[in-house]
Chain A
């Protein structure tokens, strides 16, 4: 991912700075997040990166409500309409009379409608989750590859350079083993 930049480079950048404090213990990372909040850093400026889902209760939960069920419901509706239209619509457009059977047979139309409904749910849910995760990312995000090997990264977005040095101190106070700076976060 991004190459870390040194302090000199960060000073030259007039935009925001992102600090990543790496912790080898998820509870230490949790204490650092609490500490940052006590020092008045808003929770939406703090993010935590990890290679596994964070244990319940370690951090104040990520609470932003998900719209995924709406995507799924929309997909179900779109799939239902598409499936019914395809099966019943084509049969009506090109009627083949077979042994007195109805042109639009609801059991057979039902099977295709069901499959399309499920396909709609699957595809719309996929689109929804990528949208909600913010993936795929075009711009390289602030990231430390050591997170992959089990470290926990606490990311703080700093609006000014002065604040970034204060936050660096807080992260170290709570046991960050290494701190990396990313310009333009």
Chain B
């Protein structure tokens, strides 16, 4: 029935998408070695931190939260969109979602893993991290059960658990396909991971049902996570942080940076794994529209917050705003405005540019440069210009903090590369299902290959 497809048969879809899983080239080892060496350097920096003390960071009074917390907020933000986009597109039955959901869900899992490491590193004494957990307390001092830091711990644990499950469940049918094609120890791995999936009516029926439930549940969890991260700041009385708009502002920024990372990853996957037939300009066109909308919404929230501060002229808040826009952070501020508003706004409004994959790669990378700048501007200027001018200060990161930051980006990339080595980065069954639906609807596209029969182990949904 589905032979009239732009992709060819089901077996051909399997061949295309499983190629990076079943074939390993020297490039894979080279990339792993490169990223692994950066991660090892970061591990050395962490060891140096633990053995020497937190004085190796550039933290000081008044800037007691800096690069590690900036990285935490940035990576939690990146994690936001993967599962969220996938869930929203599943709930709305957006047809174009099919090739991007898996990659986006994996992105969420790995970014939140990286993010969760930063509060521990930031402590400088990670062996006392259990202060974050509401354990029975006999000393009457710690922990504070009402602290937003406890909310953080619980929210991130919930989101990570939910995101792993939301990644795994729709991957089971594809794991069964790899099981049927692999040999040796990998076959045993996929036999275990696929749980004995056979593709029966009962299994498909229940999978469809559970994905519907999970998608609806994971959306409010995703929103709550970044809201709670924002409340780490907003629940204080630090000037500028103590703002009611922080939760939606953080959520919007998180979705924005997450969409940009989804685009970056999709472009790279398309090129590296030669998946042009699956990740088509149509997908980038739609993601570009989302990026355009989010750039405007993000600016609206930023402007609403800044305007209130500027017009109110409350001295301590105005000092922070002035320090951010006109002080030493001005270059970073204008980088943020250009990368987060000017460039995406003036490029993503044009269809030709949205369908140009190279343009999408550049714009998505710039958006995340802008979002990283925004994270710095939220945290450092507010602490540098407190309510008491006698306690004003500044912050410079040290090589230890920069090394750990570089290792975090490399670590995320390494996890993703390893994921693509062991799991299909495009959801095969969802792609095949879409092909079948289009063929049922009589949608014919050029380049349709001839159909084969059962003897050739092809056909049916091809």
A residues with CB within 8 A of B: 1, 22-27, 47-55, 59, 62, 64, 66, 68-69, 72, 86-87, 90-91, 93-94, 96, 98, 101, 105, 108, 111-112, 114-116, 118-119, 121-123, 125-126, 128-130, 132-138, 140-141, 143, 145-152, 155, 177-178
Contact = CB atoms under 8 A, between A and B. Distances in A.
A146 B457 CA distance: 6
B161 A149 contact: no
Q: Please list the 8 inter-chain residue pairs (A to B) with the smallest Cβ-Cβ separation, ordered nearest first.
A: A150-B10, A137-B196, A24-B459, A177-B454, A145-B180, A136-B195, A149-B11, A129-B210
9 contacts: A23-B454, A62-B201, A90-B135, A91-B146, A94-B137, A118-B221, A121-B213, A121-B217, A151-B460
B204 A54 contact: yes
A66 B202 CA distance: 10
A129 B208 CA distance: 10
B220 interface: yes
Contacts of B197: 135
Given A26-B1, A52-B436, A119-B158, A150 B455 contact: no
Nearest to A105: B146
B214 A52 contact: no
Contacts of B458: 24, 149-150
B180 A148 contact: yes
Interface in B158-204: 158, 161-162, 165, 169, 172-173, 176-177, 180-181, 195-204
B199 A147 contact: yes
A96 B460 CA distance: 66
B161 A96 contact: no
A55 B134 contact: no
Contact of A68 (B176, B209, B453): B209
Interface string B305-335: 0000000000000000000000000000000
B144 A96 contact: yes
Given A126-B165, A149-B11, A25 B204 contact: no
Interface stretch (B149-157, B277-285, B379-387, B400-408): B149-157
B154 A52 contact: no
Contact of A50 (B144, B199, B208, B213): B199
Given A50-B460, A115-B224, A150-B462, A133 B206 contact: yes
B134 A87 contact: yes
B136 to A, nearest CB: 6
B134 A122 contact: no
B196 A129 contact: no
B299 to A, nearest CB: 29
B214 A122 contact: yes
Given A122-B165, A134-B202, A90 B457 contact: no
Contacts of A25: 1, 459-460
A41 to B, nearest CB: 15
Nearest to A91: B145
Interface residues of B, number: 72
B195 A51 contact: no
B400 to A, nearest CB: 33
Contacts of A87: 134, 145
B293 interface: no
Contact of B457 (A27, A121, A150): A150
Interface centre among B181, B201, B217, B433 (most CB of A within 10 A): B201
B460 A152 contact: yes
Given A129-B169, A150-B462, 6 more contacts: A49-B199, A118-B220, A149-B11, A149-B14, A150-B457, A150-B461
Given A24-B460, A148-B176, A52 B433 contact: yes
B189 to A, nearest CB: 14
B228 interface: yes
A72 B56 CA distance: 48
Given A24-B459, A123-B161, A112 B199 contact: no
B203 A135 contact: yes
A53 B176 contact: no
Contact of A137 (B195, B199, B217): B195
B445 interface: no
Nearest to A134: B202
Contacts of B462: 150
Interface in B68-117: none
B169 A115 contact: no
B154 A118 contact: no
Contacts of B457: 146, 149-151
Interface in B211-257: 213-214, 217-218, 220-221, 224, 228
A27 B3 CA distance: 13
A108 to B, nearest CB: 4
Contact of A147 (B9, B141, B198): B198
Contacts of A132: 202, 206
Contacts of A148: 14, 176-177, 180-181
